[in-house]
Amino acid sequence: MNYLPIFIEIKQRPCLVVGGGDIAYRKINLLLKAHGQVTCVAKSCCKNITKLVNDNKIIFIEKSFELSDVKGQVLIVSATGNASLNKQVSELASQNNVPVNVVDSPDLCTFIMPSIVDRSPIVIAISSAGKSPVLARLIRAKLESTLPHTYGKLAELAGDFRDKVKAKFNNIEDRRYFWEKAFSGIIAEKVFSGKVSEAKVDLQAQLDSTTKAQVGEVYLVGGGPGDPDLLTFRALRLMQQADVVLYDRLVSEGVMELVRRDAQLIYVGKECDNHAVPQGDINQLLVDLAKQGRRVCRLKGGDPFIFGRGGEEIETLAENGIPFQVVPGITAASGCSTYSGIPLTHRDYSQSCRFVTGHLKDGSMNLPWHELALEQQTIVFYMALNGARHLSKQLITHGMRVDMPVALVEKGTTPEQKVYTTTLKGLPDLVENEIIHAPTLIIIGEVVKLREKLNWFDVKSASYKK
């Protein structure tokens, strides 16, 4: 190693920053986050530093740097942009055995300012030894995306119980096993969900060995419209820790690739008139698996609360006392319209948007057509491909213009996306003459006209106009 990674406590201790520009301001903020007592020395300073001075957060001395400024400091940062001054600061600090960092000059540093992932009291520092700060920041960004911001609360909880666990288990291996179970189970999830008080009770119960068989938890997760990059951080985390995953046919292969490798996968997809597993059986299966102590991910395409029957499933969980959490996903209407270059609302074309299911519970398509056949609104039909002819006829009958623009988005947000554009009158012929596969979304409204101008995602060969 070129540098020994260590953490220095600077709380209420004197730190010096030489320089008064924007870079110095960023370094000052970093020192303030660690509760250092910061003095800034420079001939002038930027507005941001002036504000810190006016807020009594730092001391600013308007003068040139000199040897006396080094005395009594626990660390020094030089951020002047003046090479000779930076070298002087480095030499004087080193002569007086004060750690010094000179911005963008590794050869003048005795310590490096790393890229930081802050989940206090958990802090992760990434350094490239000054070789490539940009690479270090990219690594930090990857870690930021996988670590919940509530990890710090989990560490605080562990700190509160550390002495109790140490008194309970004399063997270090037993203590390690206890904490590994706590950190990877429902207790951790309760902390991540903001239920810290419940997590404390559960942790104490586990420590007292008074708990009955542990009940698992169900994660109702929205997998988005297809592109795995559209998953939320929480969705990805829960998918990768679930013991069992129940998934439907609208979950893309790319999203399924991100599921925990050794998880049990159970397909419960539905198609029109072909339900692999009836909804009632799915509801009960979630309950049964959770009662076995399993962590169960119910993975759905789009958003579980928008035509995803998520409400029905968690009703059953609530009735049976099963802990659950719901993770929203980007619904198909938002994802597919965006990837097609069709804004759902626009001041010149549409002041409202309606999401409509084309397949009711009783199998009919009995919709409030007179409310849908209005100008200046966008209608997005889910699960309406088979009923396209009927919806075209009904909207025209109830007063919608025959030349109203229509778009069909097949497998939206994925590399297989295809977009067909037509008019309300031409919709039945398009569906009859083209081989269009589910999942396909139907968008109706003047906003469809904007596709030719705003389209950014489609490969040319995947775009059609009929």
pLDDT in tens, 330-366: 999 999 999 999 999 999 999 999 999 987 655 567 8
Banded pLDDT at 211 (limits 50, 70, 90) = very low
Q: Which residues are designated catalytic? A: 248, 270
Taking the C-alpha atoms of residue 300 and residue 279, their distance in angstroms, rounded to an integer, is 13
Is 43 annotated in a binding site? The answer is yes
Q: Quick check: 70 and 93 in contact, CB under 8 A? A: yes
pLDDT attached to residue 176: 82
Is 301 annotated in a binding site? The answer is yes
Is 118 annotated in a binding site? The answer is no
Banded pLDDT at 276 (limits 50, 70, 90) = low
Mean pLDDT of 27-50: 96
pLDDT attached to residue 363: 57
pLDDT in tens, 220-245: 999 999 999 999 989 998 998 898 99
What would the CATH number be for the domain defined by 151-208?
A: 1.10.8
Residues 333-465, CATH architecture:
2-Layer Sandwich (3.30)
Is 225 annotated in a binding site? The answer is yes
Question: What tokens does 239 get?
Answer: 């998918």
pLDDT attached to residue 193: 85
pLDDT in tens, 73-110: 999 999 999 999 999 999 999 999 999 999 999 899 99
pLDDT higher than threshold 90 for residue 1: no
| CATH superfamily, region 217-330 | Tetrapyrrole methylase, N-terminal domain (3.40.1010.10)
pLDDT higher than threshold 80 for residue 383: yes
Is 331 annotated in a binding site? The answer is yes
119-123, 172-176, 308-312, 330-334: least confident range: 172-176
Is 79 annotated in a binding site? The answer is no
Place of tokens 């009859």: 432
Banded pLDDT at 265 (limits 50, 70, 90) = very high
Using alpha carbons, select from 305, 314, 285 the residue that is nearest to residue 222. 305
Banded pLDDT at 462 (limits 50, 70, 90) = very low
Angle of helix 196-208 versus helix 172-183 axis, rounded to 10: 150
Mean pLDDT of 43-58: 96
Is 224 annotated in a binding site? The answer is no
- Across the chain, mean pLDDT equals 91
Q: Does domain 14-113 have CATH number 3.40.50.720?
A: yes
Where in the chain are the domains?
14-113, 151-208, 217-330, 333-465
Taking the C-alpha atoms of residue 143 and residue 132, their distance in angstroms, rounded to an integer, is 17
